[in-house]
């Protein structure tokens, strides 16, 4: 980050202007999350470097909005410091370590704060924390433990004590409700255990051009509603159901029938015109009343799982299908593995006109092409058993693994994947030639060309069986309406993650959120994005 800032300074964007931009945008992000700042007691913890300078600017702008701002400095600042001098005119109290030998002032300031701005250590920090910064953060944490009601905590650029390269974290680090990081997402903010301290993540534009120096190499975007809402397919008034595409969902088994309905709901809620559910025969009758809007294809089965004989039936459905989902609720039985291997191996020739010949009245052969494809859940685990599977799927398909499924596909330890989520998703998306949606806290979406997006959601509400089926359904529903693989994956993951947040707000606890609640939440997110 220092190299990026140095290059920006050399190009005319001065350090002073970057600091002013940073403080202003951070203050705006705070006001967006917590609009009622008038009279709120805000404590700025100010470090010695640029991070502390950013904090001083934040304090100035919050004071202008009516907050009662105080500041505690790890080291005295000169009156010639423009940002410090400006804050002294609007702050209710400013103290420092030098003035507070017994820590009583700090303790009192922390105990009375409604909001704490952590501007002690920035992205250049490396473990361990030492000296005065360690003392201040330790005292703040001690005082917070004594409080019945915790203040809001906001980090400037990163939580102090978090290594922004590795995600390792100091015991003195204060967990945040919001982290406003500057110019670009840092890998450590997305890597556990440090990611646990980040809270909501927001990227502040401080004026550095995205094509400048090392920042261009980051090629990583934090998804915002403003950036993606224009991807929502248009809804013309003279539309019919065919306007919005047909999604074919090949899913389900006797042991996992619910995945079918959840995926179907996901596809319909994001706007697909028609959703067809292709399922093994024994489960169709138990599901049909749960999603009466769907049409159905009943497939041959072996002991309740999709069997190889399904291939011929499904070929007949492909000509009128705009997007296809494989995998939710498949199970991992040999019969379904055989089905998938044959379906994909014959499908590899579709683009060359060698599969799916349908007999017309004149008995002419018509080639049917495989539609855009999403693969999820057990479908991913079965892919691993299919030789040369990356070349058999239509490119680019969308793969939606959680870390365990990614471990199966890559033969990497799950811990290694979690320690390098962005790097792993980018590497394998490029290697396979498909879009990878690496699910989890701060879901990563990576395209084969290196473009990568990070979703700003980290909620345990989505750590529940069935929520991934809703996500896969949402993505295929968007593809059915004509979105390209990467855009459908990013937009679908955003809608899904935001729906998880809304479900928590509606229910009151993440512990009780079910996948069906997330599917219901898709409606409200679609409304939000439509404004």
Give every CB contact of residue 318 below 8 A, 6+ residues apart in sequence: 248, 324, 356, 368, 369, 370, 371
Query: What is the per-residue pLDDT across 447-505, written as a single tens digit (0 to 9) for each?
Result: 999 999 999 998 999 999 999 999 999 999 999 999 999 999 999 999 999 999 999 99
Pick the last residue of a domain from 168, 192, 218.
218
CATH number of the domain encompassing residue 347: 3.40.1190.20
Pick the last residue of a domain from 195, 218, 241.
218
Q: What pLDDT score does 362 carry?
A: 39
Binned at pLDDT 50, 70 and 90, residue 207 comes out as: confident
Query: What is the per-residue pLDDT across 212-260, written as a single tens digit (0 to 9) for each?
Result: 555 445 446 889 999 999 999 988 888 888 889 999 999 999 999 999 9
**CB of 502 closer than 8 Å to CB of 524:** yes
Helix/strand/coil (H, E, C) string of 75-140?
CCCCCCCHHHHHHHHHCCEEEECCCCCCCHHHHHHHHCCCEEEEECCCCCCCCCCCHHHHHHHHHH
Kindly state whether residues 339 and 209 are assigned to the same domain.
no
Looking at the structure of the chain, the number of domains it has is 2
Kindly state whether residues 344 and 381 are assigned to the same domain.
yes
Pick the last residue of a domain from 193, 218, 243.
218
Kindly state whether residues 115 and 238 are assigned to the same domain.
no
**CB of 374 closer than 8 Å to CB of 397:** yes
User: Which structural domain, as residue segments, surrounds residue 19?
Assistant: 2-218
Residue 223 lies in a domain: no
Residue 224 lies in a domain: no
Residue 317 lies in a domain: yes
Residue 442 lies in a domain: yes
Residue 370 lies in a domain: yes
Kindly state whether residues 211 and 239 are assigned to the same domain.
no
Binned at pLDDT 50, 70 and 90, residue 348 comes out as: low
Distance CA 192, CA 422 (A): 12
Task: Classify 479 as helix, strand or coil.
Answer: helix
Kindly state whether residues 180 and 252 are assigned to the same domain.
no
Residue 508 lies in a domain: yes
Output DSSP code: residue 169: B
Output DSSP code: residue 487: H
Q: What pLDDT score does 124 carry?
A: 82
Kindly state whether residues 264 and 165 are assigned to the same domain.
no
Average pLDDT, integer, range 394-416 = 97
Residue 129, φ and ψ in degrees, nearest 5: -70, 140
């Amino acid at each position: 980050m220092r190299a990026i800032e140095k290059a920006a300074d050399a190009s005319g964007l001065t350090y002073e202007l970057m600091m002013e931009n940073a403080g202003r945008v951070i203050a705006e992000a705070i006001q967006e999350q917590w609009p009622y700042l008038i009279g709120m007691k805000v404590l700025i913890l100010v470090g010695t470097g640029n991070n502390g300078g950013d904090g001083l600017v934040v304090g100035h702008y919050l004071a202008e909005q009516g907050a009662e701002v105080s500041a505690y400095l790890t080291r005295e600042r000169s009156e010639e410091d423009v940002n410090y001098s400006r804050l002294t005119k609007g702050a209710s109290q400013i103290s420092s370590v030098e003035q507070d030998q017994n820590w009583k002032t700090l303790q009192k300031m922390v105990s009375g704060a409604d909001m704490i701005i952590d501007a002690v250590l920035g992205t250049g920090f490396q473990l361990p924390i030492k000296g005065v910064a360690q003392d201040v953060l330790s005292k703040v944490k001690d005082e917070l433990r004594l409080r019945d009601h915790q203040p809001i905590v906001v980090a400037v650029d990163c939580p102090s004590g978090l290594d922004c390269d590795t995600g390792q974290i100091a015991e003195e680090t204060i967990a945040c409700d919001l982290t406003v990081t500057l110019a670009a997402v840092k890998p450590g903010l997305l890597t556990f255990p440090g990611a646990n301290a980040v809270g909501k993540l927001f990227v502040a534009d401080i004026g550095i051009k995205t094509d400048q120096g090392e920042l261009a190499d980051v090629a990583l975007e934090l998804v915002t509603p403003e950036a993606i809402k224009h991807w929502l397919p248009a809804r013309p008034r003279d539309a019919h159901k065919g306007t919005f595409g047909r999604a074919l969902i090949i899913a389900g088994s006797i042991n996992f029938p619910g995945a079918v309905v959840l995926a179907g709901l996901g596809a319909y809620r994001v706007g697909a015109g028609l959703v067809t559910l292709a399922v093994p025969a024994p489960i169709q009758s138990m599901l049909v009343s749960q999603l009466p809007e769907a049409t159905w294809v009943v497939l041959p089965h072996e002991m309740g799982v999709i069997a190889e004989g399904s291939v011929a039936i499904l070929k007949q459905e492909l000509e009128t299908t705009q997007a296809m989902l494989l995998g939710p609720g498949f199970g991992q039985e040999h019969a379904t593995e055989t089905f998938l291997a044959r379906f994909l191996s014959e499908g590899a020739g579709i683009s060359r006109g060698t599969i799916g010949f349908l007999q017309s009245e004149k008995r002419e052969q018509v080639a049917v092409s495989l539609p855009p494809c999403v693969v999820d859940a057990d479908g991913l685990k079965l892919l691993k058993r299919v030789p040369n599977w990356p070349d058999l799927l239509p490119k680019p398909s969308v793969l939606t693994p959680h870390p365990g499924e990614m471990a199966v596909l890559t033969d990497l330890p799950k811990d290694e994947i979690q320690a390098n989520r962005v790097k792993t998703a980018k590497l394998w998306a490029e290697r396979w030639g498909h879009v990878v949606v690496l699910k989890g806290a701060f879901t990563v979406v990576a395209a084969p060309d290196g473009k990568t997006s990070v979703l700003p959601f980290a909620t345990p509400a989505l750590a529940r069986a069935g929520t991934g089926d809703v996500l896969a359904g949402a993505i295929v529903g968007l593809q059915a309406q004509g979105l390209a693989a990467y855009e459908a994956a990013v937009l679908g993951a955003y809608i899904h993650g935001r729906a998880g947040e809304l479900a928590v707000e509606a229910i009151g606890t993440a512990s009780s959120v079910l996948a069906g609640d997330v599917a219901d939440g898709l409606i409200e997110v679609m409304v939000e994005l439509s404004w």
